[in-house]
Amino acid sequence: MGSSRLLIFFILPILLVLDPLAPAIADDQISDTVCTETADYCWSCFNTNNTVNNGSIYKQNLNLLSSFLSNAQMNSRFYNFSLGQAPNTGNAIAVCRGDVALKDCLTCFNDSVSILLQNCTTTNKQEAIIWAERCTVRYSTVSILGVLEDKPVLHLKSPQNVSNATQYNQVLNPLFENLSEKAAAGNSVSKFAAGHALVPVTNQTIYATVQCSPDLDKQNCSNCLEESISDIPKCCGGVEGARVLKPSCYLRFESNPFYENGADTLINLPGEQGIIIYFLEIIQVEIIRVTLQQKCRHCRSSDWYCHWAFYQHLHSCESLEAKKSKKVHSILFYYKLEFNKGTLCL
């Protein structure tokens, strides 16, 4: 990761449209939000209603927090700090994305703190937050631990639209609801969930993550994510990817993987959506079965090479479809057994 000082020279207005994921809408009435060119870092600096008696002492406390974080033994993806006495108390929270390696979390924390101190304390702002690709860091003069905060909110969306917005949204909402339930059920160290789901007909894949600050209780985490999900149609409907960023939670979805493989899981959608996908899988299997039988009929019983080529084709189909659906995999395995017995080609 490059020096955090270099990042400061690439800040752009929030309305600049970038590719593939760009700042597009900022519901940000109390602060000025800026982002790096690729939106790897976005930050806001603003004032609270709290009065600071001695700004220099407050800055000293923030610098001490920064020093403590830099020298911390990295054994967690979540840290909270509080130094000084009111009203000059410096309170800070640092949350790393749940799938990121610990050493990368520390790098993200340090770079984020550096950007905040260089851009927010010099303007005497009492509160600040930075949303990085891999972590979130915020500080304030008021207590923020365990407190649900949904302002400021930042919406970042891709300039690329989806061709099948209706089907896409029918999968996107249940996917986020599933992940939100998992994240909210997390512990005091991590409230994070990641997964993907297939869009019927087009076979598009939606990859998504959600995360709450782990100091939130289950109900506040659920409320924060629920409000964020409801923001999507208003800010980011019909696009291939977007982020909804808030101090206490965030969500993101993309058409390509953006998180670590170990965090991924296939989300089987419940209810009507799941039934639709099931029947689409059955139709897909039937198409494969007819195709295979047509190939099989071209093979004579004495033509061992043709049979072997067909067998290999069947095996390839089974391997390919196993990645998409266990149902398809099991049915193709049955066809493979029938071929071995010679009944499929009759």
Q: pLDDT-derived band of residue 328, with 50, 70 and 90 as boundaries?
A: very low
State if pTM tops 0.75.
Answer: no
Report whether the peptide linkage leading into residue 20 is cis, meaning its omega lies within 30 degrees of zero: yes
pLDDT at position 81 is 81
Q: For residue range 55-81, what is the model confidence (pLDDT) as tens digits? A: 566 566 666 666 656 655 567 899 888
The partner residues of 140 in beta bridges, in order of sequence, read: 91
- Provide the CB-side half-sphere exposure for 325 (13 A, CA): 21
Q: Are 42 and 245 in contact (CB under 8 A)?
A: yes
Q: For residue range 32-43, what is the model confidence (pLDDT) as tens digits? A: 789 998 899 999
| Burial bucket for residue 295 (CB in 10 Å: 0-12, 13-18, 19+) | middle
User: Which of 16-25, 112-121, 276-285, 322-331 comes out lowest in average pLDDT?
Assistant: 16-25
pLDDT at position 42 is 96
Q: How far apart are CA 57 and CA 226, in angstroms?
A: 39
The partner residues of 96 in beta bridges, in order of sequence, read: 135
Contacts of 80 (CB under 8 A, 6+ apart): 91, 92, 93, 94, 145, 215
Compute CA distances 142 → 109, 147, 203, whole Å.
21, 10, 48
pLDDT at position 269 is 77
Q: How far apart are CA 257 and CA 252, in angstroms?
A: 11
H or E segment and range at residue 64: helix 55-70
Q: How far apart are CA 128 and CA 120, in angstroms?
A: 7
Q: Are 126 and 141 in contact (CB under 8 A)?
A: yes
Fold for domain 4-145? Killer Toxin P4; Chain A (3.30.430)
Q: Which CATH number fits domain 156-263: 3.20.20.70, 3.20.20.220, 3.40.50.1820, 3.30.430.20?
A: 3.30.430.20
Number of residues in the chain: 346
Average pLDDT over the chain, rounded to an integer: 75
CA neighbor of 145 nearest in space, from 209, 196, 217, 203: 217
Q: pLDDT-derived band of residue 161, with 50, 70 and 90 as boundaries?
A: very high
CA 246 to chain centre: 13
Q: For residue range 75-85, what is the model confidence (pLDDT) as tens digits? A: 789 988 887 77
Q: Are 191 and 213 in contact (CB under 8 A)?
A: yes
Q: pLDDT-derived band of residue 146, with 50, 70 and 90 as boundaries?
A: very high
Q: For residue range 171-210, what is the model confidence (pLDDT) as tens digits? A: 999 999 999 999 999 999 999 999 999 988 788 999 999 9
Q: Are 205 and 198 in contact (CB under 8 A)?
A: yes
With a pLDDT cut of 90, the percent of the chain lying above it is: 42
